[in-house]
Amino acid sequence: MIDAKEALQRLVDGNKRFVNNASIHPNRSQETKDSLVSKQTPFAVVLSCSDSRVPLEIIFDAGLGDIFVIRTAGHVLSQEVMGSIEYAVVHLGVKLIMILGHDNCGAVHSAVETYKSKTLDTISPNLKSILMEIYPAIEKVNENLEEDDFHKEAIRQNVEYQAKDLLVKDAYISKKVDSGEIMVVKANYNLKTSEVEIF
Ligand SMILES: [Zn+2]
């Protein structure tokens, strides 16, 4: 199993290829498919948004068996999400966890809108549960920012908050991070440049 730094480098290198339109589309051969029938050894777990413009295997130029993917709208945490991250760490030996946000995140925009107009109670309970997970991030944004900057900062704060919340709520992951066994990195996907910017 590769360590966290190597894993991060692999993601960075893959994204560079994608940015430069030089993707090599690795690990899609019949041989790879056959080798993955009975086991998987992904090198990273990435929690990102469900947004259709952020497909992880494409933006990181990765293939089958490479990334343990968890996606929710706004990459919000839930017990199931944390359990999935733990599964990847405990049972698959993954050393790198990435929390990846992205520009123009609809979930964050909706959260900002309902937060500012105080209309959270007008939406469905399931959608509400997602937006409520983003509210603590919005509360950290300077309210004097112009609309555009406010949205941008809310997106950044949402990555910061979800990463921090993971460590607050998941004692198992937090312990492993403290001991240096695993690493949590925060990043943002730039829709214009296709680049993943590590915080
Ligand atoms: Zn999004």
pLDDT for 196: 98
Tokens linked to 51: 């947004």
Tell me the CA–centroid distance for residue 127 and ligand 1, in Å. Answer: 13
Distance CA 191, CA 49 (A): 13
pLDDT for 73: 98
In contact, 65 and 36? CB cutoff 8 Å = yes
Tell me the CA–centroid distance for residue 102 and ligand 1, in Å. Answer: 6
Provide the CB-side half-sphere exposure for 25 (13 A, CA): 3
pLDDT for 1: 78
Tell me the CA–centroid distance for residue 7 and ligand 1, in Å. Answer: 24
pLDDT for 126: 97
pLDDT for 63: 98
Q: What pLDDT, in 10s, does the model give residues 61-74?
A: 999 999 999 999 99
pLDDT for 118: 94
Distance CA 26, CA 165 (A): 33
Mean pLDDT of 146-157: 97
**Number of compact structural domains in the chain:** 1
Distance CA 74, CA 162 (A): 9
Tell me the CA–centroid distance for residue 172 and ligand 1, in Å. Answer: 27
Burial of 91 (0-12, 13-18, 19+ CB in 10 A): exposed
How confident is the prediction for the chain on average, in pLDDT?
97
Determine the structural domain holding residue 115 and report its residue range: 4-198
Tell me the CA–centroid distance for residue 65 and ligand 1, in Å. Answer: 24
Distance CA 60, CA 56 (A): 6
User: What percent of the chain shows pLDDT beyond 90?
Assistant: 99
- CATH number, position 92: 3.40.1050.10
Is pTM, for the whole model, over 0.85? yes
